[in-house]
Amino acid sequence: MMDTQLVLTGFLKRAQRYFPNKQIISRTSPTMTHRIPFKDYVKRTHRLADALTKLGMKRGTKVGTFAWNHHRHLEAYFAIPCSGAILHTINIRLAPEHIIYIINHAEDEILLIDGDLFPLVEPALGHLKTVKHIIVMSDDPVAPSSSFPNVYSYEQLLQEADENFEFPADLEENMQAGMCYTSATTGMPKGVIYTHRSIVLHSLALGLAESFALKESDIALPVVPMFHVNAWGFPFAALNFGANIVLPGPMMTPSLILDLIEQEKVTITAGVPTIWLGALAEQEKQTRDLSTIRLIISGGSASPKGLIQAYNEKLGVPYVNAYGMTETSPLVSMSHPTTEMNSYTDDEMLNIRVTQGLTVSLIETEVINEKGPVPWDGETMGELRVRGPWIVSEYYKDDRTNEAFRDGWLYTGDIAVLTKEGYIKITDRTKDLIKSGGEWISSVDLENALMSHPDVFEAAVIAVPHPKWQERPLACVVLKENAHATKEELLQFIEQDFAKWWLPDDIVFLKEIPKTSVGKFLKAKLREELKDYEVQTS
């Protein structure tokens, strides 16, 4: 057999050869879009590789990007790994001390920074220990003035570079290609490294009919940042399959996202539930044509039933859950129904759609507790563990590796049950699980039930200490504008779905739920704020 290496250079060649006129469409301002066909994109990518090489980029050099979703960032996505260097996408929403930490920890030597984000980073530059060059990405052919010695204009560097630059032909598939840090509950963010092989195989997985079914006729809009798990792999896969790719830039508000879907006739899009909650509310205010969409993929946290129902039934737009994390590239599972469910009632089907779904090809999952793998009963909780060719095996130079990676598996820290069909249903994070009198209560199940109430915008359920039961659930609820549901009404609304001892002991009403940089509920903060909350009853 030929020992063809699974490297990203093949994707770039394919895009250039077979899909020269397919487009990368970037939102550059609320009213402007930038369009570039693959053929020109590929030329610019070669120029960028040439420019970076002239600045000293070598095999294994870490090059950081600090940028929104746009064509220049996408140029970096291929120019860096196809040269044998490592693309380190930096989460721009992290706290400054975390940003400084990860750039130093990764030992980035070159940084690519968005022009409008540069002022944000400027004050931190003095703390960076390994960065030698900074390239500012904007239309401006002149670099901004800075106290940092080597700051360049991206466009000027590209102008001076060679579009006939040749990528090395001898890359090996196990070479490091990408890097991403994920925030930790405590301590500094943890880094993971993707390889050419892992990215190529993960990209193929996005083309499978059983998962995203990405293909040439698609117009793909990742509403998930390119600085977070490679925008779930869309940028790489879209180039390979020849799909148009729509990049929203910094404009991720529900209204602008819906406009973009309508204008660009988007066929497939993906984002966190918060985005889709917002978009639903916006769509109810002002209707856009969403008929081109064949698939909305929701991941990052659980989607409430009502949200799934609203898209699938009210808007007639297929809305499917996916599950994954930074450590898993991210795709692990998807909640597409199987033919077995053809005879299911709407309710039964909704119970499937609300899960994190069936494990995709090449990936193995197990849910285990102290007794071993849990039965497929939809009830017994355990920790989800994952392995496969795009699951990382360690945190980069980090002792926390030992907690998460054991016996050849990644322990996800997610508590799950398996439905009778083998679908994964996340019920909690290990750390968010409520342990009441020796039994486990799922905060996520309670949240979903609360969020299906028409008056509830968001709900987070946390454990608060209890003298008798060790922990008891406390619900934090954000009501919709002008909604007035009371604690009693909400408790009554959910009581038929749960054992009595599962019900929250109290409900506090908040203006908003604190969130992480990627839009997930920040329960650690809620727990900290409410740790002295005195539960009223039991």
Binding residues for its own copies, rule: CB under 8 A, are 1-4, 6, 10, 13-14, 17-19, 21, 174, 193-195, 197-198, 200, 204-205, 207-210, 213-217, 240-242, 338-340, 358-359, 361-362, 364, 387-393, 408, 410, 422
Closer to its own copies by Cβ: residue 358 or 479: 358
Cβ contacts of 407 within 8 Å, gap of 6 or more: none
In the complex, the smallest distance separating the C-beta of residue 245 from its own copies, rounded to whole angstroms, is 14
Q: Could you say which DSSP state residue 167 is in? A: -
Nearer to its own copies, 13 or 525 (CB): 13
Q: How far is it, in rounded angstroms, from Cα 497 to Cα 199?
A: 42
Active site includes 75? no
- Tell me the closest approach of the beta carbon of residue 343 to its own copies, in angstroms: 13
What's the gap between Cα 375 and its chain centre? 29
Q: Are 63 and 109 in contact (CB under 8 A)?
A: yes
The least CB distance from residue 322 to its own copies, in Å, is: 16
Could you tell me the CA-to-CA distances from 185 to 212, 356, 385, 538 in Å, in that order?
30, 22, 19, 30
Element holding 359 (H helix, E strand): strand 358-359
Choose, from 264, 327, 366, 447, the residue flagged as catalytic.
327
Based on the residue annotation, tell me whether 440 is a catalytic residue of this protein.
Answer: yes
Cα–Cα distance between 494 and 450 in angstroms, integer? 7
**Smallest distance from its own copies to CB 367, Å:** 12
> What is the β-pairing status of strands 409-418 and 405-406?
antiparallel
Of the pair 392, 415, the CB lying nearest its own copies is at 392
In angstroms, give the least distance from the CB of 22 to its own copies: 8
Whether 182 sits among the annotated catalytic residues: the reply is: yes
The string of DSSP letters for 463-518 reads: EEEETTTEEEEEEEEEEPTT----HHHHHHHHHTTS-GGGS-SEEEE-S---B-TT
Find the shortest distance in angstroms from Cβ 209 to its own copies: 4
The answer to whether 266 and 293 are in contact (CB under 8 A) is: yes
User: Beta strand pairing status for 470-479 and 506-509?
Assistant: parallel
Closer to its own copies by CB, 390 or 502: give it: 390
CA atoms of 245 and 74, how far apart (whole Å): 10
Residue 251 CB-density burial (10 A; 0-12 exposed, 13-18 middle, 19+ buried): middle
| Angle value at C-alpha 453, between 451 and 454, nearest 5 degrees | 110
Residue 196 or 472 having the CB closest to its own copies = 196
- Look up 390 and say whether it is catalytic: no
Q: Which of 33, 182, 253, 292 is catalytic?
A: 182
* Catalytic positions: 182, 327, 435, 440
